[in-house]
């Protein structure tokens, strides 16, 4: 009899509802939602990052590629127009009927500057190292400096090398 009473009591406890547990039909309790065990609350930050004023102190040309070259660097090449950023990683200097482009480069571009069939030649006395590439109508000089890599592209080899040397002197802050 005591066993029967004990079993009846346990069965009765199993049928009673917890005051905190929601039920579907009033008979079977739903499991309570689990709360994640974290030390800090999770914050969903959906605002875009503020990239203004966050350039590293050693950014090439102080973060302004249009400061790589100065008007005196273009002597003998024609009338210099106003340099304008072409993208976040390049600046175009209009000169006469052509243009000069200063662009950020990667270590991989410096290591493998051309494609098959393009003439590639070392350029002496520019930065820590420089490589020129004949693009067939344009000439591009890739330059390595202490704080990164960049390239200067001009219509001819000599002006490209001369402008790359001038820019290399301004690359490091």
Tens digit of each residue's pLDDT (9 = 90 or more) over 51-96? 555 667 778 998 899 999 999 999 999 999 999 999 889 999 999 8
Q: For the segment 37-50, what is each residue's pLDDT rounded down to a tens digit?
A: 655 555 556 565 55
pLDDT of 23 > 70? The answer is no
Among positive and negative, which fits the CA dihedral 64, 120, 169, 77?
negative
Q: How far, in Å, are 54, 61, 63, 127, 164 from residue 170 at the CA level?
A: 20, 6, 11, 10, 10
Q: For the segment 157-167, what is each residue's pLDDT rounded down to a tens digit?
A: 999 999 999 99
Task: Identify the pLDDT of residue 172.
Answer: 84
Task: Identify the pLDDT of residue 89.
Answer: 92
Domain locations in the chain as residue ranges: 1-33, 60-171
pLDDT of 123 > 80? The answer is yes
pLDDT of 24 > 70? The answer is no
pLDDT of 130 > 90? The answer is yes
Domain 60-171, CATH number (from 3.40.50.300, 3.40.50.2300, 3.40.1000.20, 3.10.20.30): 3.40.1000.20
Task: Identify the pLDDT of residue 30.
Answer: 60
CA 146 to CA 28: how far, in whole Å?
71
pLDDT band of 141, cuts 50, 70, 90:
very high
pLDDT band of 31, cuts 50, 70, 90:
low
Of 98, 91, 97, nearest in space to 70 by CA: 91
Task: Identify the pLDDT of residue 20.
Answer: 54
For tokens 């990667």, name the residue: 106
Give the pTM: 0.68
Task: Identify the pLDDT of residue 161.
Answer: 97
């Amino acid at each position: 009899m005591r066993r029967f009473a004990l079993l009846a009591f346990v069965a009765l406890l199993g049928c009673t509802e917890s005051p905190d547990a929601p039920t579907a039909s009033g008979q079977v309790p739903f499991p309570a939602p689990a709360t994640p065990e974290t030390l800090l609350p999770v914050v969903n930050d959906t605002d875009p990052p503020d990239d203004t004023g966050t350039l590293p102190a050693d950014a090439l040309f102080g973060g302004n590629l249009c400061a790589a070259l100065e008007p005196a660097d273009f002597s003998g090449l024609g009338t210099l127009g106003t340099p304008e950023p072409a993208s976040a990683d390049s600046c175009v200097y209009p000169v006469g009927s052509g243009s000069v482009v200063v662009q950020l480069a990667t270590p991989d571009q410096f290591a493998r500057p051309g494609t098959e069939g393009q003439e590639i030649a070392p350029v002496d006395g520019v930065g820590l190292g420089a490589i020129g590439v004949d693009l067939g109508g344009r000439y591009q000089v890739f330059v390595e400096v202490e704080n990164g890599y960049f390239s200067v592209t001009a219509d001819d080899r000599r002006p490209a090398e001369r402008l790359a040397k001038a820019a290399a002197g301004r690359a490091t802050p």
